[in-house]
Structure 1
Amino acid sequence: MSFQAYLDNIQAKTGKSPSDFKAMAEKKGFTQNGIIRPEIKATQITDWLKEEFELGHGHAMAIYALLKGKKPD
């Protein structure tokens, strides 16, 4: 599955776009100026996504990769 396919599936399931997730991560304090804060661990972000949006591990990691700077295919 391509990275873009992961993002498309996540948007279909949650109704949230990649931009929405970036904004929510900023609001929750995981990122600052669009960059993941150094003290934030991947598990903190993936746990939030799994709990709040019921994402599986692979989909949560795709959002983490997005926040780390990976661009859609």
Structure 2
Amino acid sequence: MSFQAYIDNIKTKTGKTPADFKKMAEEKDFIIDGKLNPKIKATEVTNWLKEEFGLGHGHTMAIYATFKEKTE
């Protein structure tokens, strides 16, 4: 599955875009000043997305990649 397919599936399932998730992550201090908080582990982010939005591991990692600005 392509990266864009993951993002499209996430939007279909949750109604949210990567920008929406980034805004919520900022509220949780996962992202500070537009950058991923170095004190936050990937597992904390993926667990949040799995628990709150019912996303699978691959989908949560795609969102995490957008937080790290690695979308290729």
Q: How many residues align?
A: 72
**Hey, what does 2:18 align to over in structure 1?**
18
Amino acid at match of 1:10: I
Aligned residue for 1:11, secondary structure, equals helix
Whether 2:37 is the aligned partner of 1:37: answer: yes
Report the TM-score when normalising by structure 1: 0.93
Which portions of structure 1, spanning 4 or more consecutive aligned residues, are displaced by more than 3 angstroms?
Answer: none
TM-aligned CA deviation for residue 70 of structure 1 = 1.6
- Structure 2, unpaired ranges of 5+: none
Normalised to the residue count of structure 2, the TM-score between the two structures is 0.95
Structure 1: runs of 5+ lacking an equivalent: none
RMSD (CA atoms): 0.9
Give how far 1:34 is off: 1.6
